[in-house]
Amino acid sequence: MRRVVLTVLLAMLASAGIARANNFPSHPITIVVPFAAGGPSDVMARILGERMKTTLGQTILIENVTGAGGSIGVGRALRSSPDGYTISFGHLGTHVANGAVYKLGYDLVADLEPVVLLPSNPMIVVSKNAVPAKSLKELIAWLKERAAPATAGTAGAGSGSHIAGLYFANVTGIKLQYVPYRGTGPAMNDLVAGQIDLIFDQLSNSINQVRAGKIRGYAVTDTKRAESAPDIPTTDEAGLPGFHMTLWSGLWVPKGTPKDIIAKLNAAAVDALNDPAVRKQFENLGLAMPPKEKLSPEALGAWQKAEIAKWWPMIKAANVQVN
């Protein structure tokens, strides 16, 4: 008798799960972007969300929850219920570097389920126009001869712009004064206004300001020039060989989210990435599309672990002070 009751109960639970997945989504979904509106992460999430709603048939809301290099927004997302309605948008900074910078109170691998890898961004070295340097070599010479460290805008300790700055300081021996913002969107406003000297930025965030001549771009941290910015040399060409960094982004959901709901979210994101209009928008921003074989949730999980193994030693060696 007990075995019959248990079997019926399990069957009911299973069918409830199936019904829930079949019925997903039945109301709007929120993507938590851990950086300020108008910045590179926000822009990518909004373009993606606008197209994912077509496949999912529900509105995708963007919620900007900022601070502490994006770790506050990620914490907000992963503490929400594992039902697919709250998605954590992040990248190399928030879902890799922050684990080596902060005592997070959560585990970036154990407490999250990967959904999909998103486009990547070469980083670009940019400065305010008043900096007396026309090439990367001249910029490095100017930085070396300065008495006081130059100011580099970041999106907070552990963010992509901070990790790129740490890496640059690591390979050049140049000390920098990091100035944290809630995102590189607001940092860019101060760079254009000449309030800070530099940003090690995502190309997608700087490209239009460089094209408009409002800031100066020196080199992209990739092995090849960006199609959308063919006039900007690579770091190899500009005299800092081997200084390579691409900032990839992704989507995750809280641990325990049903696999079939993750599959639906993954399918909607892949639909968006295959949409010619979306691809055009991303390519105009200098973003590189992820390879097809890397679009499964498992592929993002494996890639995140590989990047943790690659970047944590450098970041931990930099001994980043955060309160």
- Residue 25 or 40: the one with the smaller Cβ distance to ligand MLT is 40
Query: Contacts with ligand MLT in 181-220 (CB under 6 A)?
Result: 183-185
Is the CB of 91 or the CB of 128 nearer to ligand MLT?
Answer: 91
Stretch that binds ligand MLT, among 106-114, 158-166, 225-233, 271-279 (CB under 6 A): 158-166
Q: Which is nearer to ligand MLT, 36 or 315 (CB)?
A: 36
Per CB under 6 A, contacts with ligand MLT among 38-57 are 39-42
Q: Which is nearer to ligand MLT, 56 or 126 (CB)?
A: 126
Query: Is residue 88 a contact point for ligand MLT (CB under 6 A)?
Result: no
Question: In the set 52, 74, 136, 155, which binds ligand MLT (CB under 6 A)?
Answer: 155
Is the Cβ–Cβ distance between 274 and 54 less than 8 Å?
no
Residue span binding ligand MLT (CB under 6 A) among the ranges 32-40, 72-80, 190-198, 208-216: 32-40
Pick 86 or 159: Cβ nearer ligand MLT: 159
Fill in the per-residue mask, 282 to 301: x = in contact with ligand MLT (CB under 6 A), - = not in contact.
--------------------
Binding range to ligand MLT, per CB under 6 A, among 76-84, 130-138, 180-188, 229-237? 180-188
State which of residues 98, 161, 209, 304 lies at the interface with ligand MLT (CB under 6 A): 161
144 burial class (0-12, 13-18, 19+ CB within 10 angstroms)? exposed
Residue 91 beta carbon to ligand MLT: minimum distance, rounded to whole angstroms: 6
One residue of 88, 159, 209, 234 binding ligand MLT per CB under 6 A: 159
Show the 3-state SS of the chain.
CHHHHHHHHHHHHHHHHHHHHHCCCCCCEEEEECCCCCCHHHHHHHHHHHHHHHHHCCCEEEEECCCHHHHHHHHHHHCCCCCCCEEEEEECHHHHHHHHHCCCCCCCCCCEEEEEEEEEEEEEEEEECCCCCCCHHHHHHHHHHCCCCEEEEECCCCCHHHHHHHHHHHHHCCCEEEEECCCHHHHHHHHHCCCCCEEEEEHHHHHHHHHCCCEEEEEECCCCCCCCCCCCCEHHHHCCCCCCCEEEEEEEEECCCCHHHHHHHHHHHHHHHHCHHHHHHHHHCCCECCCHHHCCHHHHHHHHHHHHHHHHHHHHHCCCCCC
Rounded to whole angstroms, what are the CA distances from 207 to 12, 66, 261, 284? 54, 23, 36, 9
Question: Total number of residues binding ligand MLT (CB under 6 A)?
Answer: 14
> Is position 119 an interface residue for ligand MLT (rule: CB under 6 A)?
no
Q: Does 248 bind ligand MLT (CB under 6 A)?
A: no
Q: Which stretch binds ligand MLT (CB under 6 A): 18-26, 36-44, 264-272, 306-314?
A: 36-44
Q: Interface residues with ligand MLT (CB under 6 A)?
A: 35-36, 39-42, 93, 155, 159-161, 183-185
